[in-house]
């Protein structure tokens, strides 16, 4: 539980979050060197296991309690015709999550993750950001706090996902405002808009950038983000406070996470990129964060799906690291 009642206070919380445990990292690195395999033969799985060990504070960690949190929000900017789907799909999909019928339900089950869904005032969409700030400071802080409180301190891995018709436009606006460039550099087809729809999204983002001049990352989140993006940012920050590593999902999740990194450099050191989304600018955003995605499967679903698929990769890394025999234990001659 953390208390912050303004965006400035949230920035102060971010500045004080803990770092990885270097002794655990060193211990994990040493153990990795003794396991029955040629050095480096498990490739990136080795690096992942050591990173995970550092955040969990144990040279031989376990990964048994992954948590998936899904946040849903509605967007006033949908009035600009930015999505291929109507806004009511957001609340309908929340019901689908609650009844177990969505892709993320099956992925959670497949990888043994708990899952919670948080609908964020769906009947009170954010403002259309071409006309006004998307959220008041109070609304933005409330969403950050909801995200913070949604994290189970006993989880040992967190995936944050979202559902929000129109939110690829918010993600693109955040991308442009945080990393530079114009609307056309950051918009993609989202749920499937055509060429005219894509051009319209670029126009909408450009209007937002012109109206909201502040380049303070948390102000950018408030003015052009959405409740589900703020909640993901709050959850990712809370995970760090609890030393819970995070797998980032696609374009919208990464945009929300980028707000943290731009507020406090290094704020995403406890996060890996789960996958490369088919949403056009996701790769550029990940490059801007210096993150290499674990998977590239052409997913563009959101709702935490790509990150959930990557739980399997991280489980593989930790299982090998913590379960394998050393050369000495197995009586295998080393090189």
Active site residues: 303
- Least distance to ligand NCN, CB of residue 177, Å: 17
Name residues contacting ligand DMD, limited to 218-257 (CB under 6 A): none
Stretch that binds ligand DMD, among 15-23, 30-38, 213-221, 296-304 (CB under 6 A): 296-304
For tokens 């655990």, what's the residue? 24
Binding to ligand DMD by CB under 6 A, coded x per residue (else -) over 81-100, reads ----x---x---x-------
Residues in touch with ligand NCN (CB under 6 A):
83-85, 162-169, 190-191, 249-252, 277, 279, 282, 300-303
Residue whose CB is less far from ligand DMD, 93 or 314: 93
Residues with Cβ within 8 Å of 264's Cβ and at least 6 positions away in sequence, in order, are: 11, 14, 15, 17
Residue whose CB is less far from ligand NCN, 21 or 303: 303
d(CA 117, CA 67): 11
- Least distance to ligand NCN, CB of residue 9, Å: 29
Cα separation values, 332 from 42, 130, 296, 319, Å:
17, 65, 36, 20
Where would I find the H helices in 72-216?
A: 88-99, 103-110, 137-150, 167-179, 183-186, 195-211
Q: Does 260 bind ligand DMD (CB under 6 A)?
A: no
Cα separation values, 233 from 149, 181, 237, 257, 258, Å:
12, 22, 6, 6, 9
Q: Does 316 bind ligand DMD (CB under 6 A)?
A: no
190 binds, among ligand DMD, ligand NCN, none (CB under 5 to 8 A by kind): ligand NCN
Q: Nearest Cα to 205, choosing from 54, 77, 310?
A: 77
d(CA 168, CA 155): 29
Residue whose CB is less far from ligand NCN, 237 or 252: 252
d(CA 295, CA 215): 32
- Least distance to ligand NCN, CB of residue 212, Å: 19
Residue whose CB is less far from ligand NCN, 125 or 166: 166
- Least distance to ligand NCN, CB of residue 19, Å: 28
The answer to whether 69 touches 34, Cβ cutoff 8 Å, is no
Q: Does 150 bind ligand DMD (CB under 6 A)?
A: no
Name residues contacting ligand DMD, limited to 170-199 (CB under 6 A): 191
In which element (H, E) is residue 69 found? Answer: strand 66-72
* Residues near ligand DMD, by CB under 6 A: 85, 89, 93, 163, 191, 301-303
């Amino acid at each position: 539980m953390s208390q912050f009642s303004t965006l400035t206070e949230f920035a102060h919380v971010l500045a004080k979050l803990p770092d990885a445990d270097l002794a655990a990292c060193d211990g994990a690195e040493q153990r990795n060197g003794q396991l029955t395999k040629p050095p480096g033969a498990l490739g990136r799985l080795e690096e992942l296991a050591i990173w995970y060990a550092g955040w969990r504070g144990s040279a031989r960690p376990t990964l048994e309690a992954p948590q998936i949190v899904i946040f849903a929000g509605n967007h006033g900017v949908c009035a600009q015709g930015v999505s291929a789907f109507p806004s009511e799909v957001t609340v309908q999909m929340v019901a689908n999550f609650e009844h177990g019928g969505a892709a993320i339900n099956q992925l959670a089950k497949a990888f043994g993750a708990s899952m919670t869904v948080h609908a964020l005032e769906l009947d009170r969409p954010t403002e259309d950001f071409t006309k006004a700030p998307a959220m008041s400071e109070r609304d933005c802080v409330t969403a950050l706090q909801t995200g913070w409180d949604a994290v189970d301190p006993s989880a040992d891995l967190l995936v944050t996902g979202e559902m929000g018709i129109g939110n690829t436009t918010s993600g693109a606006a955040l991308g442009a405002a945080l990393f530079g460039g114009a609307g056309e550099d950051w918009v993609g087809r989202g749920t499937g808009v055509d060429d005219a729809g894509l051009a319209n999204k670029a126009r909408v983002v450009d209007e937002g950038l012109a109206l909201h001049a502040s380049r303070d990352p948390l102000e950018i989140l408030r003015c052009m983000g959405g409740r589900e993006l703020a909640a993901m940012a709050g959850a990712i920050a809370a995970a760090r406070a609890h030393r819970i590593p995070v797998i980032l999902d696609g374009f919208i999740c990464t945009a929300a996470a980028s707000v943290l990194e731009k507020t406090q450099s290094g704020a995403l050191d406890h996060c890996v990129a789960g996958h490369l989304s088919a949403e056009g600018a996701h790769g550029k955003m990940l490059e801007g964060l210096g993150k290499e995605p674990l998977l590239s499967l052409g997913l563009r679903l959101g709702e935490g799906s790509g990150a959930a698929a990557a739980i399997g990769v991280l489980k593989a890394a930790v299982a090998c690291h913590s379960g394998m025999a050393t050369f000495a234990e197995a009586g295998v001659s080393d090189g």
